[in-house]
């Protein structure tokens, strides 16, 4: 059974970090909306040119255009054994479109990383980004904030949108606009909620267990009745 995975969760929940780990462990591609948008623009595809024109006007790329870019990406051979979607869907309309894209493929598994607001504010306000290579760092186990990139040696800086007041606004917007996705998915037998407010290693194990349990449930449902 292919692993077709969507990871949901608020800013700072660790979706990107955990998606990379799932990619490494399961051998399926992590597909980030931002990455495939940039790829389409760089490649100069018809969809990429449309997206570039929108972004150059300072506007948000429409659901319809994002959906088509995702559809194109999921049609590639490397997604035959599955994929991890990070940053898509963001709206119920996108989720409905994804169901249509995946018609005839193995079921979608949805894992939500659940973390209370206050730990998210603390995580993001301590997050640092390399000014040169863009690598992201969180606070260490003892709460210390790193200052130098271990990848390239450049200084680490705090992003403007990681200030506490900005973080709280981002969480408010997430709750208002994106949490309806949880309502859309939560009654499916392939939906799992994972406590993201624990050490990253424990979250990784919990996600792996959630995926295995969801796949087992899907196999039972697809087995012919005796």
Residues annotated as part of the active site? 15, 90, 127, 159, 170
- CA 216 – CA 114 distance, rounded (Å): 22
3-state secondary structure of 21: helix
- Compute CA distances 157 → 33, 124, 141, whole Å: 24, 12, 19
Q: Which distant-in-sequence residues (6+ apart) come within 8 Å of 79 by Cβ?
A: 28, 29, 31, 73
Distance of CA 217 to the CA centre of its chain: 23
- Compute CA distances 11 → 45, 118, 194, whole Å: 30, 12, 15
- CA 214 – CA 147 distance, rounded (Å): 40
Beta bridge partners of 195: 114
With residue 86 as reference, give the H or E element that holds it.
strand 82-86
């Amino acid at each position: 059974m292919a692993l077709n995975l969507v990871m949901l969760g608020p800013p700072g929940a660790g979706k990107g970090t955990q998606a990379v780990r799932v990619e490494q462990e399961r051998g399926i591609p992590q597909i980030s909306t931002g990455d495939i948008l940039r790829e389409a623009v760089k490649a100069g595809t018809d969809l990429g040119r449309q997206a570039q024109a929108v972004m150059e006007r300072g506007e948000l790329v429409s659901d319809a255009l994002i959906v088509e870019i995702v559809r194109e990406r999921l049609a590639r051979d490397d997604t035959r054994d599955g994929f991890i979607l990070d940053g898509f869907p963001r709206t119920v309309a996108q989720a409905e479109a994804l169901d249509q894209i995946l018609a005839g493929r193995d079921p979608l598994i949805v894992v939500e990383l659940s973390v209370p607001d206050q730990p998210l504010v603390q995580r993001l306000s301590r997050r640092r980004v390399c000014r040169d290579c863009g690598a992201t760092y969180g606070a260490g186990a003892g709460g210390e904030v790193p200052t130098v990139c271990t990848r390239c040696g450049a200084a680490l800086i705090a992003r403007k949108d990681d200030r506490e007041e900005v973080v709280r606004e981002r969480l408010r917007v997430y709750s208002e606009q994106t949490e309806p996705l949880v309502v859309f998915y939560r009654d499916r037998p392939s939906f799992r909620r994972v406590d993201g407010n624990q050490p990253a290693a424990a979250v990784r194990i919990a996600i792996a267990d959630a995926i295995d349990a969801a796949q087992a449930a899907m196999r039972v449902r697809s087995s012919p009745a005796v």
